[in-house]
Amino acid sequence: MVILYCLMEYQPVRFNEMKRYLGRISDKTLSQNLKELEADDLVHREAYPQIPPKVEYSLTERGESLMKVLDQLCVWGTENRIS
């Protein structure tokens, strides 16, 4: 979910930029999560044919629609927090 929020805030984002935004996360973990999100059609991966290689990640329409739901869930959690 943190990856989705990062993309919502900063898209498009390159791999190393995202790693900096997220803090302590291994390359392997970030790569696996991005592949899963791409397979679920929540994240779009755009590879540019240049040297050095350039790859950017952004939310798909489906990913953006999920963010609306997640934002509402966060609002609900804040409003219904038990002290």
pLDDT band at 11 (very low <50, low <70, confident <90, very high): confident
Question: What pLDDT sits at residue 2?
Answer: 87
- Residue 54 belongs to what domain range? 2-79
When divided into structural domains, the chain yields a total of 1
Contact 8, 59 (CB under 8 A): yes
The enclosing domain of 32 has a CATH number of 1.10.10.10
Question: What pLDDT sits at residue 61?
Answer: 94
* Single-letter code of the amino acid located at 23: G
What pTM, to 2 d.p., does this model score?
Answer: 0.83
Each residue's pLDDT tens digit, 23-65: 889 999 999 999 999 999 999 999 999 988 899 999 999 999 9
pLDDT band at 1 (very low <50, low <70, confident <90, very high): confident
The single-letter DSSP state of residue 50 is: S
